[in-house]
Amino acid sequence: MKTLTKEQQEKLTPKEAFDLLKKGHERFLENTKMHRDLYEAIEHTKEAQHPFAIILSCIDSRVPIEIVFDQAFGDVFVARIAGNVINDDILGSIEYAVKVVGVKLVFVLGHTNCGAVAGAVSDIEMGHITGLVSKIKPAIFEAKQHGEDLPYTKFEDKVSHVNVEMVKKQLFQRSKIVNEFLESGKIALKGGVYDVNSGKVNFLD
């Protein structure tokens, strides 16, 4: 598999971009990583990049994004922040990927056994961490109201699920660019939760 060209990226539909991500994850689960000439990929991307997706994820070291979705040089943007939450810098990064570079998929990935979520649930007070995890508080409230409907045994994992859905909603509400591209069908906005016990992503869409 070679890195996408500009023409291939432009022709790709949002559905096809989502399928690329899911198929990559299937290869990861089946341990059938696609063979790539990495030096060729470096050469191919040295002047420009044409990724098909941007993935917003937590910083957790157990969730290496390019490995989990079997992607390589130039395939995806990855924006990482504890708790996969939204701030102005993350919004700007996503808007750049969408408006300037032309990705076809925005994907929000949470995960089970998340330290940021656990910190929010336990009302942690520790430097700048407190302000960061406070962004997860609305998901905690929502999980308390409707958590019984979610397929997780631990409350924190229910919060992770709800947090992904709320972040997707915030992206739509807070970014005029994301809103515009979604409404025109130029991008898809999807989400999932990675299970650190099994290595499997539960796609929420």
The domain spans of the chain are 6-203
- Higher-pLDDT residue of 33 and 103 is 103
State residue 31's pLDDT score.
96
Fold that domain 6-203 belongs to in CATH: Beta-carbonic Anhydrase; Chain A (3.40.1050)
Task: Please state, in angstroms and rounded to a whole number, the distance separating the CA atoms of residues 158 and 144.
Answer: 9
Residue percentage of the chain with pLDDT more than 90: 88
Q: Place 99 in a pLDDT band, splitting at 50, 70 and 90.
A: very high
Q: Give 60's pLDDT tier (boundaries 50, 70, 90).
A: very high
Q: pLDDT by residue (tens digit) across 172-184? A: 999 999 999 999 9
CA-closest candidate to residue 84, choices 14, 198, 171 = 171
Q: What mean pLDDT is predicted for residues 102-120?
A: 98
Residue 34, C-beta contacts closer than 8 angstroms, at least 6 positions apart: 1, 24, 27, 70
- Going from the C-alpha of 71 to that of each of 2, 91, 111, 129, the distances in angstroms are 10, 23, 19, 30
Minimum mean pLDDT among 36-50, 81-95, 183-197: which range? 36-50
- Average pLDDT of the residues in 130-141: 97
Q: What angle do CA 99, 60, 115 make, to 5 degrees?
A: 115
What does the pLDDT look like over 14-48, one tens digit per residue? 999 999 999 999 999 999 998 888 888 888 899 99
For residue 18, the model assigns a pLDDT of 99
Q: Which pLDDT does position 1 carry in this prediction?
A: 65
Residue 52 pLDDT exceeds 70 = yes
C-alpha 205/C-alpha 89 separation (Å) is 26
CA–CA gap between residue 9 and residue 40 (Å, rounded):
18
Is residue 94's pLDDT more than 80? yes
Quick check: pTM over 0.85? yes
* Lowest-pLDDT range of 44-48, 68-72, 117-121, 172-176: 44-48
Q: Tell me what pLDDT residue 147 has.
A: 79
Distance CA(99)–CA(184), nearest Å, equals 13
Q: If you average pLDDT over residues 61-85, what whole number do you get?
A: 97
